[in-house]
Amino acid sequence: MNNIFQKAVIITATVFLLACNNTTTESKTDSATAETSSNAGQANVKDDASMKDIVKIAIGSADHTTLISALQQAELVDVLANPGPFTVFAPTNAAFDKLPVGTVDGLMKPEKKTDLQNILQYHVTTSSLKADFFTDGMTIGMVNGGTVTVSVKDGKIVLNNSATIVASIPASNGMVHVIDGVLLPK
Amino acid sequence: MKSLFKVFMCIALIGFVALQGCKPKGVQASAGGDASKAYVAPGKYDEFYDFVSGGFSGQMAVYGLPSGRLLRVIPVFSVDPEKGYGYSEETKPMLNTSHGFVPWDDLHHIALSETDGIQDGRWVFGNGNNTPRIARIDLKTFRTAEIIEIPNSAGNHSSPFITENSEYVIAGTRFSIPMDNTNGDVAINTYKQNFKGTVSFISVDKTSGRLGIAFQILTPGINFDLARAGKGKSHGWMFFSCYNSEKANTLLEVNASQKDKDFIMAVNWKKAEEYVKAGKGTKKAVKFAHNIYDENKHMASSEIENEVLMLDPKDCPDMVYFMPCPKSPHGCDTDPTGEYIVGSGKLAAVIPVFSFTKIQKAIADKTYDGEYDGIPVLKYEAVLYGEVQKPGLGPLHTEFDANGNAYTSFFISSEIVKWRLSDLKVLDRVPTYYSVGHLSVPGGPTKKPWGKYVIAYNKITKDRYLPTGPELAQSAQIYDISGDKMKLILDFPTIGEPHYAEAIPADILMKNSQKIYKIEDNQNPWVAKGDKYARVERKGNEVHVYITAIRSHFNPDNIEGVKLGDIVYFHVTNLEQDWDIPHGFAVKGANNAELLIMPGETQTLAWKPDRTGVFPIYCTDFCSALHQEMQGYIRVSIAGSNVPIAFSMGKTQPIDSNVVNK
């Protein structure tokens, strides 16, 4: 008896709750237009009028496909579409290729996500630094908590004595400095 | 057996509880609210933009329907410190009038632009009720683009109502007054001799939207309340409700309610255009301000115009007729076909519905009931299609759906009544909370009503929301009208006091909405289009600071050389080219307000320092992770100081410029 009662209760409650869910789904379709805004994240905001943000610039560059894959794997794409402002040191595909064989593939494994995030966040600082803001010997605090040391010699800006800025591109939410080496956190 | 009964009772109870769990919180069973119909899920858009007058706030508010979410307050006839409107040097001229700067007016009615009688989403118009003006708001930017003052008018209430191709926005005067070009210094009790009314036809340029007063029609000294353009078959005509045909100048509450009937004034404006062409108009010397906001200069200008063309019905036969309408008509609404004109006498026991076909026949047959101040009065019975009997108490306004139904608001009986145009039968009635004024069906005043909802804009709130002291937010209510019965689905509070409102499908507007101003198109004379243009210049006792703003700094952010007695103009250019990244600007002690500068825009704040010292400046709109770092200093020295003008960003000044004034 008790058992039957319990079953009846569960079935009834389930039926009513299901009915409830159906109502909600229908009313949603009824009351809103087909257009949806940006539940997908800030990087997916439809906007062809504004200047390109850092994410759009990187996506548009054939030399940065490795960086984009890494940013996606590290779930940093929406972050870099945020108002920032950011300065991103963006290693080229060739820069990633200079790392020991297998390094990038290793970092792309799910269990290495934290390491990948650490390395990528070492390439980002939260202020918009134009090339002429850099001075010899200055240090920059990076998002991962580490610092990068700048040297300026003969007009060449070198980071950590290992990566040179080869191009600088203004973005709507900061600056992208293309570099020819990957910065490795100490 | 008993035990089984208990089991069933339990099941029923659980089911009931589960269903209760489905109901949104706070919906009152008595109102039969179905809030799920007003629910718009996070990340989803509303179906309609709803443009709602802000009444005594002087502004226009934009809500999403059916959710009732506030999307924007557009400053129109009042200063708005939130946006710097009326405070920045660039926007101050928008509020200029022949009386000078008017910082606060009263906006009552809304008219969306139309093409072939259908909303086209280009502009929305609003009326300045107190100091008579019409504003045009650009729906790409949701900004007030133009304001024109109306001469020979006082209490611009019968306004703005639009013709089916936006040929004209019309503006009728509520108060009759001595005309502007006459000696107005007359005894008030000479009303009947000296006071006249006017209705103005304001042309709208098809491309630019630019307004101009094409002509005014001089009328007897009565009061104009509301109006509607004819449409379809009645295109070319305009209908105005009038009260105070008694021509009372005191205690109108009693003295303007003497006659059994007042009037609806029918104007054949195509005929009026012919008279204008034929030179029947007279130019009258007047003064009115005409203010235009230049989108490329990001700057308004105000000019005073001096002349208006007046048509006198005495010289223009067959242009104006009166139709008797019971007891102080308020609303005067034309149905989507243009055949029916619905008058709503505030004190009337019936709703008279006039037939355009019958009006034309009565005019052709001269079926007159005498004249009023030389203007023919058409015989009531000859122009009447029929009366809605016992509709309710205190009818005010009527809107229409696409299925031949009308919806009339009743202030005194506090309800919306749905009735059918074909047989004038009442079909349904719902209460409003409380005392509805205007009501609106999306597209309801046009040839193509979108239907789905009727929104009541109530005058009285009382206990509808949590109490907030003596002053309460006004209440709007949205009803689902998709079925036979109207169903209340949501209450939502509004700013100011909502009078009329018009809703338009979101997809007509949203695709045109502008995201940024292009910096290369910025023609503001005070623009600084990049860091190399950032500078400070002295011109006599004026100091012009050309300052740029971009995440996350101002350039310059250290400024010296200002002296007491100077006026400092901060010309702030927002260099951002990114949607939704405005910067703000504030300086300590500024007596007017702050600025809010859109991406690509330049705005100017004038500041007269009142003491020496160092004053902070900062960005007031949270723009970025380093918003709090977006700051700087301006130094003010004594009058006659020898501190030179100096400015910088990112460097510390040499020590010798830090001379202390003696």
The complex's ipTM works out to 0.80
pLDDT the model gives residue B10: 44
Is residue B577 within 8 A of residue B600, CB to CB? The reply is yes
Q: Which of B580, B585, B544, B535 is CA-nearest to residue B562?
A: B544
Is residue B557 within 8 A of residue B617, CB to CB? The reply is yes
pLDDT the model gives residue B524: 98
User: How many angstroms separate the CA of residue A84 from the nearest CA in chain B?
Assistant: 5
Q: Which of A51, A125, A142 is CA-nearest to residue B552?
A: A125
User: How many angstroms separate the CA of residue A71 from the nearest CA in chain B?
Assistant: 20
Question: Cβ–Cβ of B10/A9 closer than 8 Å?
Answer: yes
Is residue B329 within 8 A of residue B275, CB to CB? The reply is no
Task: Average the pLDDT over each of A7-11, A116-120, B126-130, B243-247 and give the range with the smallest value.
Answer: A7-11
The CA radius of gyration of chain B, in Å to the nearest whole number, is 29
Question: Cβ–Cβ of A32/B47 closer than 8 Å?
Answer: yes
Per-residue pLDDT of B412-452, as tens digits, reads 999 999 999 999 999 999 999 999 999 999 999 999 999 99
* Closest partner CB to A9 (pick from B11, B40, B42): B11
Two tokens at B531? 């860091």
Region B589-607: mean pLDDT is 95
Per-residue pLDDT of B526-562, as tens digits, reads 999 999 999 999 999 999 999 999 999 999 999 999 9
* Closest partner CB to B14 (pick from A13, A83, A172): A13
- For each of the domains in chain B, give its residue range(s) and CATH number, in order of start: 48-179+189-242+261-512 (2.130.10.10), 519-658 (2.60.40.420)
pLDDT the model gives residue B219: 98
Which of B48, B478, B551 to mutate against chain A (most A CBs within 10 Å)? B551
pLDDT band at A11 (very low <50, low <70, confident <90, very high): very low
Nearest chain B residue to A87, by CA: B551
- CA A178 to chain centroid, in Å, comes to 16
| Chain A contact present for B425, CB below 8 A | no
User: How many angstroms separate the CA of residue B8 from the nearest CA in chain A?
Assistant: 9
| Chain B contact present for A173, CB below 8 A | yes
Q: What is the side-by-side strand order in the sheet with A147-153? A: A124-125, A86-91, A174-179, A163-171, A156-159, A147-153, A139-141
Residues of chain A found within 8 Å of residue B14, distances taken between Cβ atoms: 9, 12-13, 16
Per-residue pLDDT of B234-251, as tens digits, reads 999 999 999 999 999 999
Per-residue pLDDT of B375-392, as tens digits, reads 999 999 999 999 999 999
Two tokens at B510? 């949203």
pLDDT the model gives residue B218: 98
Region B574-578: mean pLDDT is 97
Gap between the Cα atoms of B286 and B284, Å rounded: 6
3-state class (DSSP) for residue B582: coil
Region B166-178: mean pLDDT is 98
Residue A20 pLDDT more than 60?
A: no
Task: Average the pLDDT over each of B14-18, B91-95, B131-135, B182-186 and give the range with the smallest value.
Answer: B14-18
| Chain B contact present for A121, CB below 8 A | no
**Which helix (DSSP H) or strand (DSSP E) does residue B562 occupy?**
strand B558-563
Residues of chain B found within 8 Å of residue A5, distances taken between Cβ atoms: 7, 10
Q: Which of A24, A3, A15, A21 is CA-nearest to residue B12?
A: A15
Q: Which residue has the higher pLDDT, B662 or B293?
A: B293
Gap between the Cα atoms of A60 and B501, Å rounded: 45
The CA radius of gyration of chain A, in Å to the nearest whole number, is 24
Q: Which residue has the higher pLDDT, B18 or B368?
A: B368
Average pLDDT, chain B: 93
Per-residue pLDDT of B186-198, as tens digits, reads 999 999 999 999 9
DSSP assignment, residue B624? S
pLDDT the model gives residue B527: 98
Gap between the Cα atoms of B57 and B254, Å rounded: 29
pLDDT the model gives residue B327: 87
Residue B294 pLDDT more than 90?
A: yes
Which of B6, B11, B67, B141 to mutate against chain A (most A CBs within 10 Å)? B11
Phi, psi at residue A88, to the nearest 5°?
-115, 125
**Other CB atoms closer than 10 Å to residue A80's CB: what's the count?**
24
Question: Cβ–Cβ of A33/B3 closer than 8 Å?
Answer: no
Residues of chain B found within 8 Å of residue A38, distances taken between Cβ atoms: 43
Nearest chain A residue to B515, by CA: A49
- CA B38 to chain centroid, in Å, comes to 24
Residues of chain A found within 8 Å of residue B624, distances taken between Cβ atoms: 83-85, 173
Question: Cβ–Cβ of A32/B599 closer than 8 Å?
Answer: no
* Closest partner CB to A31 (pick from B7, B11, B37): B37
Q: For chain B, what percent of residues have pLDDT higher than 70?
A: 93
pLDDT band at B259 (very low <50, low <70, confident <90, very high): confident
Is residue B233 within 8 A of residue B250, CB to CB? The reply is no
pTM: 0.89
Q: For chain B, what percent of residues have pLDDT higher than 90?
A: 89
pLDDT the model gives residue A40: 76
Residues of chain A found within 8 Å of residue B38, distances taken between Cβ atoms: 31
pLDDT band at B256 (very low <50, low <70, confident <90, very high): confident
pLDDT the model gives residue B258: 86
3-state class (DSSP) for residue B129: coil
